[in-house]
Amino acid sequence: MESKHEILNLFGENVRKFRRLLNLSQEELAHKADLHRTYIGMIERAEKNITLVNIEKIANALEVEIKDLLKHSDNGNND
């Protein structure tokens, strides 16, 4: 499922990408971020409009900066 809000799709794709880079399951990321596993799944599928406080929790758990979760990176076309 994709959101009509491109920013939510982008954010969700990046969460999934960085989570896999760390070899974390959704459940492990959820535990690290103090969120629910189903919530992580919804965020990755862009089904939820995430709040800033939870954005920060996920960025911290993924050991990246928030701006890294908002970057386009599919084609290496920009930084």
Tell me which residues touch its own copies (CB under 8 A).
Answer: 5, 7-8, 11, 49-53, 55-56, 66-67, 70
- Taking the complex as a whole, the smallest distance from the CB of residue 4 to its own copies amounts, in Å, to 10
- Taking the complex as a whole, the smallest distance from the CB of residue 47 to its own copies amounts, in Å, to 13
CB proximity list for 49: less than 8 A, separation 6 or greater: 5, 8
Pick 37 or 57: Cβ nearer its own copies: 57
- CA-CA distances (angstroms) from residue 61 to 2, 29, 30, 65, 78? 24, 7, 9, 10, 25
Pick 20 or 71: Cβ nearer its own copies: 71
Pick 2 or 56: Cβ nearer its own copies: 56
Token reading at 56? 């920060």
